[in-house]
Structure 1
Amino acid sequence: MDKLSHRYVWVGMISAEHLKHCKQAFFDDPTLRAIEYRASPGASADAKRIGAEIEALIDMRRLSTFARGQCGSACAVAFLLGHERVLLASLDQVPTHLFIHVPRNSLTKEMNYGHADRDFKKIVARSGNRFPLSLLEMTYEVKTPEGGLYILRQAVASKENGGLHHVWFCAGDELITQQSCQPVVGVTPQDLGIAIE
């Protein structure tokens, strides 16, 4: 826990055990005003319940959210539900990024469109309609579980035109088809209501 800046630092998976520690920290210290997610690839099969509890905590305390390094799947959704959202510089070799995708059934791997629709509408609302629903809905077009939308703190160059881009769509079959992920041209995190520090 980073007491100096009044934020709880959540390192790793979005899990019931981590949630228990997080809730206890907020109970013990009423001055905490934010959650910083670090190196989180997402959640276990219990993501829906854990995500709902994180969302309730964020709403009850009007928390800001920060991300540093990887923040994928359930982490990205929790981050995007913060009342203020900030991408921070990475502390290791993994660049700070969000990975957004449609949740899948852990057994059948089928997409859960209903769950995604609810999350996506909440993300759009929390951003003050700055995060377009159509951008989130691009994730319905993925070919594999690895596909989705990537939002990068630092723009990277496109192989096709050399332009720098912060937001990328990956279908998930890029290794098989020998194609690159596609940049979402002209969109920055700031356009989506996400600050960069």
Structure 2
Amino acid sequence: MRNVVLAESSGGDLGAAYAIAQFIKDRKINTAVQGNCFSSCAVMFMAGTERRMLASKNLARTRLGFHGPHKKQTREVSTEGIPKLREWLLEATNGKFPEELLDQAMYINRAGDMMYFYYPGANRAINIRFCKEATVAYPELCETVQGHDLLSVGILTTAELLKVEDLEPQAAAPASKEAESEKK
């Protein structure tokens, strides 16, 4: 397996995301994203050796969302989890993620606060938005972050889009012994 495509995920368990991310990193697997990939999904995406977006008609709506960790049951911001996630993202981006931008994404007030990253130029020249929980459904009300994009902060490793036809085909299921004997 050379590529993992992450698609349409609002996130999940951060501990599980770290474990999957380590699996991806250890095997030097490339990652790509299509559609929404938020929170824990974005953590897994960042483990890819090469990180790209999938070429699709929905590129303008494809986005990665980062925010500080929170407790699943209470949705209370988990400040004790921030240093590990912050360090992990700095390492994954080779220190390119500007610390002031990273801190804005990490030190949130509500679990639903999120920093969204779009493919450069695909979304009306708005590459990064920071949305408070109350404005997530209304991107035009979110704060636009200028001067950075997915490439400059090290989230993507290349601007080249991954084409579906370049993905390796799924391995064929091994034939059963019964099916093999029927062929004879």
Say which of 60, 65, 70 aligns to 2:26: 60
Gaps of 5+ in 2: 162-184
Indicate if the aligned counterparts of 2:120 and 2:150 stay in contact, CA closer than 8 A: no
CA positional deviation for 1:181: 1.0
- 1:12-68 deviation per Cα after TM superposition (whole angstroms, max 9, x unaligned): xxxxxxxxxxxxxxxxxxxx122110111211xxx1331132122122212221111
Say which of 40, 60, 68 aligns to 1:74: 40
Say which of 77, 80, 104 aligns to 2:70: 104
Residue 121 (1) aligns with residue 90 (2): no
Quick one: higher RCO (CA 8 Å, sep 6+), 1 or 2? 2
Indicate if the aligned counterparts of 2:11 and 2:37 stay in contact, CA closer than 8 A: yes
2:145 corresponds to? 184
Q: Quote the Cα distance in structure 1 between the aligned partners of 2:20 and 2:107.
A: 28
Gaps of 5+ in 1: 1-31, 158-163
TM-score, normalised relative to structure 2 = 0.74
Indicate if the aligned counterparts of 2:60 and 2:118 stay in contact, CA closer than 8 A: no
Q: Which has the higher strand share?
A: 1
Q: Quote the Cα distance in structure 1 between the aligned partners of 2:59 and 2:48.
A: 25
Instruction: Provide the identity percentage.
Output: 24
Mean Cα deviation higher: 138-147 or 59-68: 138-147
Aligned length: 157
CA positional deviation for 1:143: 4.0
SS of the residue 1:69 aligns to: strand
Q: Quote the Cα distance in structure 1 between the aligned partners of 2:73 and 2:98.
A: 31
SS of the residue 2:104 aligns to: helix
TM-score, normalised relative to structure 1 = 0.69
Indicate if the aligned counterparts of 1:70 and 1:94 stay in contact, CA closer than 8 A: no
Structure with higher Rg: it is 2
CA positional deviation for 1:89: 3.1
SS of the residue 1:151 aligns to: strand
Distance verdict in 2 for CA 1:185–1:94, change over 3 Å: closer
